[in-house]
Chains A and B, each alone.
Chain A
Amino acid sequence: MSPNLRIAVRFLFAKKRSMLMSLAGIIFGVGFFISTQAQLSGYQELFINTILGTDGAIRIEDRIQDTNVFVSAPTSEGANTNFFVSDRENRRFVEGIEHPESVIEAAMQLQNVEAASPVIKGTIQLQSPLRKDSGQVFGINVDQHIAVSSLEDRIQIGSIAEFRAAPMGIIMGHKMASRLDVTVGDSVIVRAIDQQRRVTIVAIYETGVSEIDKTRVFMHMSATRSLLKKPHGVSFIQVSVFDRDHAIVDALAIENMALHFSAPWQEREKSWMQLFTTLKLSAAITVSTIIIVSGLGMFSTLFMIVMDKTREIAILRSMGYTRNDISNIFLWQGFIVLVCGAILGCGMGALITFGISKLPMPLSGIFATDYFVVRSTVWHYLQAVSAAVVIVMIASLAPARWASRLIPGDVIRGTAT
């Protein structure tokens, strides 16, 4: 052990009560930082998984009208020139996708695209023996759609196999089923414009997203085409990808290749993502105040040690200890508290996070869960420790510098300021 570290440890133990208070603050600060970030990240992750499972990573929708304008103009020398001008700001859209096969073929050329499913969407009225409700029908090719969504996993009653075997079967959200007071095996009448069909409920799903569960009904593509009188084209194509973080780039590529508006999940859910980021930042700032307060405590404790130890500092200087040695003695004290606080704080954070994940917390609305959702990453630990490092180092630096600047002659003579 170096002489400076040895002295630092002894000085630290001489003020152990004050230092323990600072240490406790750092432990709690780091621990709470990790656990709050884990909770918010958990809910954010659940939300992302829910939207990826329901609406896909990318949604290809309306066709973009060609905005390239052919321009012919003379040069300054009088020669003719021809060129195209693209006006992206004022581009217009034509509703729906006329040739979904060619768009899917273009999208599937991208390495990150996993699968694509064409969907016809329309507004419908549903009538059960007792009640009426409005909703949206999603006409799907079942095998294609389960490859781009978590529909199969979300089915609570019935099964995809039953849906596959029933040409006039539908899959209904559990909230809509509850409002219509129907269950699997019941039949309802579906109306759209001037068409109506009697269909059988073959499965009931729950995504946890209220808006989906109370409005969305899945039917076979052919039955939906007939109901909505849309013999050609589709409303949109739902795309799943291997790397969800790359979806923005893929959507742009699809848009340029297929000339159809493509929305990645990050853009569609931008406001929710911003909300989660804001909440995480807010929680980080709030919890960091605990570390800041403990840093202030540590700052005052170290200053007290310096004030108490001016004579000892002077005598150490007279023995050949340099200004740097004196400074290091106080920085070591901060470092020891920091290391202990960071290690114990990380342990506490892991324990709190684990404990919270076992707490029941039934929740639905924008996602469904029965327990607190947590997701710890190494980044949370690094962020918490970094916050502690910055605060503790700032708290230690000023006393260390002050101690190192004491002039031993002045201290011993009693004229030090």
Chain B
Amino acid sequence: MSSGDEREIALECRDLHKHLGEGETRVHVLRGVNLKLYRGEVSAIVGPSGCGKSTLLYLLGLLDRQDSGSIIVQGEEAPPDKEGDHTRIRGDHIGFVFQFHFLLPEFSAAENVMLPMRKLGRMSQEEMEKRASSLLSDVGLGEKTHRLPSQLSGGEQQRVAIARSLANMPSVLLADEPTGNLDVKNSLMVFESLTRLAKEKGQAVLIVTHNPDLAEKCDRILRMQDGQFID
């Protein structure tokens, strides 16, 4: 799937299989998916509903377990049966943006951005505040750091979610329909923030989207059908 050059691989999966459901409703969702994501590259997965895009994204993000195949993040293989390793790798290397922002409503924008940093525990309070403020400024919310999510618009909330996903400087950013819940203007703004920051910070970005216009703006488009890439 890659051009096979010397670019640094942030995430790789080999022969990934996944079934969903039980008994008669059991479906083979992913059928031997191979993929490499490179630092500084923005990739988009497109395809019809139910083709396995989101399932692949959750597997790559170690939020779910594959039936077979391997996932390697920054050179470290994530064993499918070791949840502790999954959690650690997620915290260290992976950032998520979902269709819904999933901000914690009790925390301000800055506090939401600081949540992953607090868990990682590598920065002082002052450093965390500074970084949260900087990330929020990067997504155009420098003046609204202390606002609660309920005091922000849908687009602004999603931009806070992007800032939060970048908090721990992950090597991979996984976005599941990040603009699916926004109008055109906000979609463009969110997409622009996401790709610009990722490129600036040398992160691999994988976006699942139904929006062909946004997909066209990515460095690479991966078309998926029936649990496999078709290009």
What is the interface of chain A, defined by CB distance below 8 A to chain B? 3, 6-7, 10-11, 13-14, 311-312, 314-323, 325, 407-410, 412-413
Contact = CB atoms under 8 A, between A and B. Distances in A.
Contacts of A14: 105-106
Contacts of B105: 14
Given A312-B104, A316-B115, A319-B115, A408 B63 contact: yes
Contacts, number: 72
28 contacts: A3-B118, A6-B118, A7-B104, A10-B106, A10-B107, A11-B106, A13-B106, A311-B100, A314-B63, A315-B102, A315-B104, A316-B115, A317-B63, A318-B96, A319-B90, A319-B116, A319-B119, A319-B168, A320-B90, A320-B91, A320-B119, A320-B168, A322-B87, A325-B119, A409-B64, A412-B98, A413-B54, A413-B55
A323 B83 contact: yes
B63 A318 contact: yes
A409 B58 CA distance: 6
B23 interface: no
User: 3 nearest interchain CB pairs?
Assistant: A320-B91, A409-B64, A10-B106
A320 B165 CA distance: 11
A11 B104 CA distance: 9
Given A408-B63, A409-B64, A412-B58, A317 B87 contact: yes
Interface in B71-99: 83-84, 87-88, 90-92, 94, 96, 98
Contacts of A10: 104, 106-107
B47 interface: no
B91 A319 contact: yes
Given A320-B90, A320-B92, A322-B84, 10 more contacts: A10-B104, A317-B63, A320-B88, A320-B120, A321-B91, A321-B119, A323-B87, A409-B63, A409-B64, A410-B64
A322 B83 CA distance: 9
B167 to A, nearest CB: 8
Contacts of B61: 318
B90 to A, nearest CB: 5
Contacts of B98: 315, 412
Interface of B: 54-55, 58, 61, 63-64, 83-84, 87-88, 90-92, 94, 96, 98, 100, 102, 104-107, 115-116, 118-120, 164, 168, 176
A3 B106 contact: no
Contacts of A312: 102, 104
A359 B55 CA distance: 71
B129 to A, nearest CB: 14
Nearest to A312: B104
A222 to B, nearest CB: 87
Contacts of A11: 106
A13 to B, nearest CB: 7
A10 B149 CA distance: 14
Nearest to B94: A318
A311 B176 CA distance: 14
Contacts of B63: 314, 317-318, 407-409, 412
Contacts of A7: 104, 115
A1 to B, nearest CB: 9
Contacts of B106: 10-11, 13-14
**Which among A314, A317, A319 has the greatest number of chain B C-beta atoms within 10 A?**
A319
B92 A315 contact: no
B55 to A, nearest CB: 8
Given A14-B106, A321-B119, A413 B58 contact: yes
B102 A311 contact: yes
A62 B206 CA distance: 98
A412 B64 CA distance: 11
A3 B119 contact: yes
A314 B102 contact: yes
Nearest to A315: B102
Contacts of A408: 63
Contacts of A3: 115, 118-119
Contacts of B168: 319-320
Contacts of B94: 318
A129 B170 CA distance: 107
Contacts of A407: 63-64
Contacts of A314: 63, 102
A39 B1 CA distance: 80
A13 B148 CA distance: 15
A321 B86 CA distance: 11
Contacts of A319: 90-91, 96, 115-116, 119, 164, 168
Nearest to B91: A320
A410 B104 CA distance: 19
B93 to A, nearest CB: 10
Contacts of B54: 413
Contacts of B102: 311-312, 314-315, 412
Contacts of B107: 10
A406 to B, nearest CB: 11
A320 B87 contact: yes
A312 B118 CA distance: 16
